[in-house]
Homo-oligomer: A and B are copies of this chain.
Amino acid sequence: MRNFCLVLRYDGARYRGWQKQGNTDRTIQGRLETLLSRLLDQKVEAAGSGRTDAGVHAMGQTVSFRADTDLSCEELLAALRRYLPEDVGAVSLREADPRFHARLSAKEKTYVYRVWNSDEPCVFARKYVYVFPGALDLDAMRDAAARLCGRHDFSAFCTGKKSGKSAVRTLRAVSVERLDGEVRLTFTGDGFLYNMARILAGTLLEVGRGDRTPESVEEILRGRDRTKAGFTAPAHGLFLWEVRY
C-alpha cells in the first residue's frame, strides 16, 4: 500500500461540506472517495486535514489516502483533474511517508475570511465574499485580533462544544488587511474548533463596526460562553487557505 498526499481546491457552494454523511453524494469527501475507488478499483478512504462546513471553500485542503496502485503520481493527478467536477480541483499529488496522515500530522492551518466592505458593487467575486457595508475601524479590529492571539480556551468561539473535549488552541496570528473594497481576515493556528474561524470573523466585524471594544474580546475568552461572542459570519466568505505539516 502506498500513501498519498493530495491538495484540493474547491468551491464549497454546492456541497454539504467536506465530510461524508449518510448516502449523500453532496460532500467533497464522498465525491473524492467514489472517484478514487473507481479509478483505482479498490475501496479508498480519504482523510482530510479537517472538516469544512457546508458552503465553505478551500484554496488548499490537504488529503491523505492509501492505495495499492502502479500508477505514477502524474498519471493519477491527471485522472483526478479529468474526472473531478469543475468546482473541485486537484492542485498537487505526491507520495508521502507511510506515517503521514492529513489530519493527525497537521501542525498549523490558515483560514482566510473575505469581507466585501465597499459601496461599489462586487459582481465577479460575489459568491466568495461576505458583503458587510459601512465604516470599519481596522485599527480596532487589529487591536482585538492581537488580544485573541496566543494559547487560550476558545469555548466562547465554538458552536456545540462537546463537554470533556479540550477547547484550548493556539491562535498564532490574525491579520486584518484592506485590499481595495475588500477586508481580508487571515487566521493561523494549530487547530480550529467547529465554526471558530467564522465566529472570530463575526466578532472582529462587530469590533470594527464599534459594537464592541477591542478589550472586550479578553472577557469573551475568559467567560467561555458562546452567547457572549459575536455572530457566526456566513460560510461563503470562508476559505481553508493552507495546511502546514
Chain A interface residues (CB < 8 Å from chain B): 9-11, 57, 78, 81, 84, 86-91, 119-124, 126, 128
Contacts and interface: CB of A to CB of B under 8 A. Distances in A.
Nearest to A88: B123
A91 B128 contact: no
Contact of A10 (B90, B120, B123): B123
Contacts of A90: 121
Nearest to A77: B119
A89 B122 contact: yes
The 7 tightest CB contacts between A and B, nearest first, are A89-B121, A89-B123, A9-B123, A11-B123, A86-B126, A9-B121, A87-B123
Contact of A126 (B81, B87, B121): B87
Nearest to A11: B123
A122 B91 CA distance: 9
A11 to B, nearest CB: 5
Nearest to A78: B119
Contact of A81 (B84, B87, B121): B121
A89 B121 CA distance: 5
A119 B75 CA distance: 13
A124 B91 contact: no
A128 B123 contact: no
12 contacts: A9-B123, A9-B124, A10-B123, A11-B126, A81-B119, A81-B121, A86-B126, A87-B123, A88-B121, A89-B123, A91-B120, A124-B128
Contacts of A11: 123-124, 126
A101 B81 CA distance: 48
